[in-house]
Structure 1
Amino acid sequence: MKGLYCKLGEANELKFIIQETSIAATIGDHQVKVQVKGCSLSPVDIKLCEDLKLQRERVPVGREIAGIVLQVGPKVTFFHPDDEVVGILPLEAEMSGLCDVVLVDEYNLVQKPEKVSWFEAAGAIKDGLRAYTALHTLARVAVGQTLLVLDGASSVGVLTIQLAHYHGVKVLATAISPDDQKFLEQLRPSVGKKIKPRVIGVWDSKVDLVDSCLEETGGLGVDIVIDAGVRLYEEEPEVKKHLPHKHDIISLLAVGGHWVTTEDNLQLDPPDSRALFLKAASISFLNEEVWEASRSRQGRYLRILMKALGPLCS
């Protein structure tokens, strides 16, 4: 059978290749053989693999899978043949999720909800994990808080909005284009209170993000911010022009607020740190891959995978 792999080419460009691969003849004690019905093609983070010493000549593409269990190892307790499952292949996996059949540890899979299709399950599992990790594990979201979701029309943004509404959180979301704004304004959450998010069209140069957030919160600021990247300097490449400056995010945070960032090279100047100190605010770095780093959190990781698909069932 064939799988999709990538490798670094000249000038650090990713090259994708289709390669013949075979599955092991024997199945491990805690392994599950899955016939893949749906697979999601998320971006390949080569830098993360290098940081974790997982460099390989060819990296498998397609880690989020949904499928049917064909066979289970002798010590598998969670699954049985013909079960419908969904999960994320670990970073060190040797097989591509685009293969017809894959072998995966049982602790990387959960039962697929009946109401969710194969493609919905595979497409939403990682974004759901990211959203749930940001809201619950890092931000400790609570009823009555105000949340700002940057780039709310993105796949992660939409799931974050749905999960936040489920927990009674007031949601503000930014739109980076007129089409995104129209989409968000028509978005009616399927869970929790049927309240539309307040959309801030940052694509319009006349709209000020900080002023809009303070106006919506009566000058108190936002309790939680989940970004989609930030500008570290005033002069940034054109592709980052729609991103807010780090100082803007700090300025709109409420007292005791929490900023969840996806910016892995965030740098704070002393005035920024002073402003965070005065507000007793905090910052967390969002990296959903960290769940694989500790076996002691495996149970919590699996519970999150199951809950992450909850909005799709409503």
Structure 2
Amino acid sequence: MSDTMKAVVLTRFGGPDAFEVQSLPIASTGSRQVRVRVHATAINPLDYQIRRGDYADYVTLPAVIGHDVSGVVEAVGADVTEFAPGDEVYYTPKIFGGAGSYAEVHVADVDLVGRKPRNLSHVEAASLTLVGGTVWEALISRAGLRVGETILIHGGAGGVGTIAIQVAKAIGARVITTARTHNNDFVRALGADDVVDYADTDYVDAVNAFTGGQGVDVVFDTIGGDTLARSPLVLAPLGRVVSIVDIATPQNLLEAWGRNASYHFVFTRQNRGKLDELTNLVERGLVRPVIGAVLPLDRLAEGHEVLETGSRRGLRGKVAIDVSGEAETMVPPLAAAE
């Protein structure tokens, strides 16, 4: 085996042209680590936020970033008993904790790594790790969503929203989501019970109409803006708001006090346990990744541009990167500017 690998390196903070394809040495494998041949990765909003410099204090350049891996174990450390060479695995690398997944090979702490669902391709599995772990952390670990409750999921057609709808339905919740009209049938097919076109309708009015004024038990915020301040207007008493968005602007939460609301701000923690729970749902046919675009590793910079212009492309779900060269390239066209 070669001691080098192809990687896409972030050389400076900026636009998609800040990436450069380079040959890098492969890191050594520690006693509780595994070395994985990466077959696929994916692009998340976190990735383009890092690329443009939103988290410059946490990233030392040049850097290999990326937060999704699906691949095959090539080697294991001396103290690893959970996996062996040849095992198919998937996981999220430690965020801000070392090299990322935009490369042909990745070395990871074994406690982060889960067995890839048997019924998913590598491209599909890589599209699930970060968003799936985020959804599990938000809806299960933090919000404690239960059977029979009602949840409002903002951005149902997006990478996180598509998984959140499916997980919430698997739990047995009633799902209301926001999406554009052309995505109505799509999000309903994922399991949404009611859909609000956020461009034409005030979601507060629509949700209160859907629930007969009772409100929802959980609001899942994937969009930011004024969602924290407005969420209490659709919450039932003792409702919960879960946000995965960086929010720097102060918001008035007086309405939340009147409803005894609780707020949870989620920065996803990586571990095998959440992946194993997701794998169970996937292998039972209850959750399936949604992929809107697939590109090879050499075109990863274009993948960032595709994700950032997703609303003009009608992008649904994730942008996946086929590192192994086994999948067909798929890129939704950019609509003409109005």
1:17 aligns to 2:11 (yes or no): no
Secondary structure at the residue paired with 1:60?
Answer: coil
Tell me how far apart the structure 2 counterparts of residues 113 and 246 of structure 1 sit (CA, whole Å). 35
Matched, 1:174 2:174: no
Amino acid at match of 2:174: K
Once residues 92 and 242 of structure 2 are traced to their aligned partners in structure 1, the CA distance between those partners, rounded to angstroms, is 23
**Equivalent residues in 2 for 1:239-250, closer than 5 Å:** 246-250=228-232
Q: CA deviation at 1:13?
A: 4.3
Equivalent of 1:31 in 33, 36, 42: 33
2:274 to 275, 294, 304: 304
**Which residue in 1 is equivalent to 2:256?**
276
Q: Which residue among 212, 225, 235 is the counterpart of 1:231?
A: 225
Q: What CA deviation, in whole Å up to 9, does each residue of 1:114-168 have, x standing for no partner?
A: 1111111111111101111110111111111110001111121111111111111
| % identical equivalent positions | 28
Distance 1:247 1:36, change over 3 A: closer
Is 1:134 aligned with 2:115? no
Equivalent residues of 1:49, 1:91 under 8 A apart = no
Q: Please list every run of at least 4 consecutive aligned residues from structure 1 whose deviation after the TM superposition is greater than 6 angstroms.
A: none
- The counterpart of 1:82, out of the listed 69, 81, 86, is 86
Shift of 1:48: 6.5
Task: Tell me, yes or no, if structure 1 residue 257 matches structure 2 residue 251.
Answer: no
Once the 2 structures are TM-superposed, how far is the Cα of residue 214 of structure 1 from its aligned partner?
A: 1.1
CA–CA distance in structure 2, aligned partners of residues 55 and 67 of structure 1 = 25
Find the counterpart in structure 2 of residue 59 from structure 1: 63
| Residue 152 in structure 1 maps to residue 156 in structure 2 | yes
Q: Which amino acid aligns with 1:62?
A: G
Q: Is the 8 A contact 1:132 1:304 kept in 2?
A: yes
User: Is the Cα contact below 8 Å between 2:9 and 2:62 reproduced in 1?
Assistant: yes
Per the alignment, do residues 123 and 178 of structure 1 end up closer, same or farther by CA in structure 2, a change over 3 Å counting?
A: same
Alignment partners' CA distance in 2, 1:152 and 1:42: 16
3-state SS of paired residue (2:120): coil
Render the CA deviation track for 1:31-74: whole Å, top value 9, x for unaligned.
111111111133424357445xx331122133311111111111
How far apart in 1 are the matches of 2:101 and 2:62?
Answer: 14
The SS at the match of 1:284 is strand
Match of 2:76 in 1: 72
Q: Give RMSD over aligned pairs.
A: 2.1
Gaps in structure 1 of 5+ consecutive residues: 190-195, 233-244, 293-300
SS of 1:182's equivalent in the other structure is helix
Structure number with the bigger relative contact order (C-alpha 8 A, sep ≥ 6) is 2
Q: How far apart, in 2, do the equivalents of 1:49 and 1:248 lie?
A: 27
Deviation at 1:97, TM superposition (A): 2.2
TM-score by length of 1: 0.80
Q: Match of 1:184, as an amino acid?
A: V
| 1:286 match | 266
Structure 1 residue 309: Cα displacement: 3.8
Cα distance between partner residues in 2 of 1:266 and 1:223:
25
Aligned pair partner of 2:197 in 173, 196, 201? 201
After TM superposition, give the deviation of residue 92 of structure 1 in Å.
4.4
* Structure 2 alignment gaps of length 5 or more: 286-338
Secondary structure of 1:215's partner? helix
- Per the normalisation by structure 2, the TM-score is 0.75
Contact 2:166/2:190, CA 8 A, preserved across alignment: no
